[in-house]
Amino acid sequence: MGTDWKVRRSVLGPEARKKQARPTVSQAKPTMSNPLWVRGHELAKNVLSRLKHIIRLLLPPILLEALRKVRNYIATPARPEWEAMPNTDAVWTAHPGWAHGSIAETQRMKWPAFLASIEGTRPFGWPHEAPTDVPIDIGAHNMIVTFGYVLGRTALGKRRISVLDWGGGIGHYYLYARRLQPELALDYVIKDLPSLCAVGQSLLPEPTFTSDDAQALSRRYDLVFASSSLQYNRNFYDVLGQLCDVAAGWLMVTRSPFVEHSDDFVLVQRPYAYGYLTEYAGWVMNRKRFVDFVQSRGLVLDREFMLAERPHVPNAREQCRFCGFLFRRVPNRTAAAP
């Protein structure tokens, strides 16, 4: 048993050595012409086919679509999360964007973690778009607390205020408002897409959800608030003008990308990392043009806010930064003619 292989080989004759020879690779492994290989290959194909059928039966459609998206995403060359694109119909309509079902479903799944993040005396700062295991982010904390400051300015001398949350999703900022200003009564209206409103209504009975632009814009509000929403409208300035008109006291536009020197241009974001299985186009606005437009509608800039979000866009003509702007209505100041 302890004899070395080379020693044993040297004392054996040729015929014995043939019997003792180790099998070659071709002898050890069946080939495509080998019946054993054919039977094994067919068996594997049948098993995989049955597994796929079982998966289709068990998994809901949205998860099946997620698996297909991940498979296709892995199979395609890597693309940046942010990319400057031309302002064309093809760019704006290539994907469902915020109407994609994975967005409302992902926000619904993360809702318990979001509720836990705002309970008790813990600091704010868990960004609800992020994975549930990320730590508190000081940039998100400052953005949320800034909203509390805006509510305080709006509520000065009042016990109750009306708020239009344009693009308010399933109601995250409504709960921020309840935690940040618990003594303040709120008439809170959330305008968003039907899929997000449906989820929001199932989770929050207090605010009013609507997907109808005309209904949301049929009255005036003490505060009009738009966080990470306006830039996704191709007719950005038309919608902004409507929001200015219904802002009786204050207008807050935040989490939108701006540049100092370039003209407005279009970005496409690919938010797969956040569980959103789609892409959406949005505007990067020239800061001066934006501020001048709002001030021409009878409001003045009261405060500008810096945000931590600064995405790198490899092919952008100018790198953008996300900002927030708080405007207030000036009594007896009329809007300039468009």
CATH number for the domain harbouring residue 147: 3.40.50.150
Residue at 138 is within a domain: yes
| Domain co-membership, 156 together with 239 | yes
Same domain, 169 and 35: no
Q: Which residue has the tokens 């001398």?
A: 157
- Please give the distance of CA 295 from its chain centroid, rounded to a whole number: 30
The answer as to whether 240 is a domain residue is yes
Smallest CA-to-CA distance from 167 within 200, 123, 142 is with 200
Domain presence at residue 9: no
- pTM for this entry: 0.77
- Complete DSSP assignment for 259-311: ESSSPPEEEEE--GGGT--S-EEEEEEEHHHHHHHHHTTTEEEEEEEE-S---
Residues 69 and 102 in one domain: no
User: What per-residue confidence (pLDDT) applies to 128?
Assistant: 82
**188/161 Cα distance (integer angstroms):** 8
pLDDT tens for the chain, 338 residues: list them: 443 433 334 444 555 444 444 444 444 444 444 455 445 545 555 555 566 556 656 666 655 555 555 544 443 447 899 999 999 999 999 999 999 999 999 999 999 999 999 999 999 998 888 777 788 899 999 999 999 999 999 999 999 999 999 999 999 999 999 999 999 999 999 999 999 999 999 999 999 999 999 999 999 999 999 999 999 999 999 999 999 999 999 999 999 999 999 999 999 999 998 889 999 999 999 999 999 999 999 999 999 999 999 999 999 999 999 999 999 999 876 666 55
In a domain, 321, yes or no: yes
Task: Give the pLDDT of residue 274.
Answer: 84
Tokens of 166: 């344009």
**Per-residue tokens: 181:** 């200003």
SS3 131: coil
43 and 113 housed in the same domain = no
The answer to whether residues 57 and 195 belong to one domain is no
Cβ partners under 8 Å of residue 230, min gap 6: 166, 167, 236, 239, 240, 243, 253, 256
What is the Cα gyration radius of the chain? 30
User: Is the domain of 29 the same as that of 140?
Assistant: no
* Token output for 66: 């997620």
pLDDT value for 62: 56
37 CB contacts (<8 Å, ≥6 apart)? Answer: 30, 31
User: Tell me, what's the pLDDT at 26?
Assistant: 41
DSSP 21: P
Number of domains in the chain: 2
Find residue 299's DSSP bridge partners: 329
Residues 6+ apart with CB under 8 A from 55: 64
CB 253 within 8 A of CB 230: yes
Q: Are residues 37 and 184 in the same domain?
A: no
Give me the pLDDT at residue 4, please: 40
| Spatial distance between the Cα atoms of 263 and 289, rounded to a whole number of angstroms | 9
Single-letter amino acid, residue 27: Q
Which pLDDT value is given to residue 287?
98
Tell me what pLDDT residue 79 has.
Answer: 86
CB 281 within 8 A of CB 85: yes
Compute the residue count for the chain. Answer: 338
| Strands 185-191 and 82-85, sheet pairing | unpaired
Residue 276 is assigned to a structural domain of this protein: yes
Residues spanned by the domain of 45: 19-75
Tokens of 151: 């509510």
The residue to which tokens 């796929």 are assigned: 52
Same-domain check for residues 58 and 173: no
Contact status, residue 179 vs residue 149, Cβ threshold 8 Å:
no
- Does some domain include residue 202? yes
The Cα–Cα gap between 12 and 18 comes to 10
Question: Is residue 66 situated within a structural domain?
Answer: yes
pLDDT in the model for residue 21: 47
3-state secondary structure of 143: helix
